[in-house]
Amino acid sequence: MDVEKTQVMSRTGEFTTTLSWQESVRSRVAAAMDRFAGPLADLVERDANDGDTRLLVADFFSVGLNFSKYQDLTTEYRTSGDSNDYAIVLDGKLFAPVEVRGIGQNLDLRNIQMARRLASQEGAEWIFLTNGRAWRVYHLRPEGSGVRPVVVVDADLTDPDSYQRNLDQLFHITREAVVHGRLDALRRWREAVEAAPLSGLVTEDSVVAAVLNELSERTGHPGHAGDAEEVRRILAGQVLARGLAAAPAAAEEAGGEG
């Protein structure tokens, strides 16, 4: 079965084929974003508490992201005090703990401490964190003897200038996108465009050849032996070295979670 041409029509396991399941899913997410814009604004205006925010989040999970409140979402992992509000369970296994904060609270890594412990115990790789307006999804990337939470999805539904970007971000955390492997593909993309892996890609023969062709067109230089080695040396020793040196500072600024 070609999963790219297959769409789950109901949670009973019925299927239908379509050439663009993505379009129908994006349309549903867009409709949900529009539908919840008013209630979301009301919650923001009255600075709603955690409980009222959880109601909106649960509805958005169901209406927009297509996770069943009765089959896919559970409060089984919720205890008293600072705990996980929901958990997404797929095929009988914990897929991701879900942490919900009040609509007016800022989100940061401190909010997912409990979720990290739970994910580690249950072997889950993902964590969802939201206050209703901001949605973040972390992948727990193996690092050394532990894991490091890395943001893969980041959306702010109260930013009117980011509508299309928010739609694309939320598409990747729909039930269909998760089942079709699109969320994991986005995770791999995020990892691939980091400085270290890109540095290796940029000095590959095909990339160097493309740079040489572009430089030849711009300068009229017909080329001679040694050009490829010169370009590769400059890319590795100057361009990439400067970029990698600046990467830690840029990453630290981008990683500040407010």
pLDDT digits (tens, 9 = 90+) for 210-234: 998 999 999 988 888 888 899 888 8
Higher pLDDT, 76 or 169: 169
Kindly state whether residues 181 and 241 are assigned to the same domain: no
> Residue 70 above 80 pLDDT?
yes
Average of per-residue pLDDT across 235-245 = 69
Model pTM score? 0.78
pLDDT greater than 90 at residue 139: yes
Residues 108 and 232 in one domain: no
pLDDT value, residue 236: 81
Are 81 and 119 members of one domain?
Answer: yes
pLDDT at 255: 47
- In a shared domain, residues 236 and 146: no
Last residue of a domain, one of 192, 212, 239: 192
The parent domain of residue 86 ranges over: 3-192
Same domain, 219 and 185: no
Examine the pLDDT at 37 and tell me if it is beyond 50: yes
The answer on 246 and 142 residing in a single domain is no
- Greater model confidence, 217 or 77: 217
Residues 98 and 176 in one domain: yes
46 compared with 5, residue with greater pLDDT: 46
pLDDT at position 232: 87
Q: What percent of the chain has pLDDT over 70?
A: 83
Asked if pLDDT for residue 30 goes beyond 90, the answer is: yes
Last residue within a domain, chosen from 174, 192, 210: 192
More confident residue, 130 or 19: 130
Question: Does position 137 have pLDDT exceeding 70, yes or no?
Answer: yes
Mean pLDDT (the chain) is 86
User: What average pLDDT does the segment 196-204 reach?
Assistant: 80
pLDDT of residue 72: 97
CATH assignment of the domain containing 66:
3.90.1570
Domain boundary residue, one of 192, 225, 242: 192
Could you write out the DSSP letters of every residue in the chain?
A: --GGGEEE-STT--EEE-S-HHHHHHHHHHHHHHHHHHHHHHHHHTT--HHHHHHHHHHHHHHTS---TTTTEE-TT--SSS--SEEEEETTEEEEEEEE--TT----GGGGHHHHHHHHHHT--EEEEE-SSEEEEEEEEEETTEEEEEEEEEEETT-GGGHHHHHHHHHTTSHHHHHTTHHHHHHHHHHHTSHHHHHHHHTSHHHHHHHHHHHHHHH-----TTHHHHHHHHIIIIIHHHHHHHHHHHHHHHT---
Q: What is the mean pLDDT of residues 174-189?
A: 97
Same domain, 142 and 224: no
The verdict on 242 and 142 lying in the same domain is: no
pLDDT of residue 34: 97
Q: Say yes or no: 35 and 146 in one domain.
A: yes
Structural domains in the chain (count): 2
Whether 53 and 96 map to the same domain: the answer is: yes
Residues 144 and 159 in one domain: yes
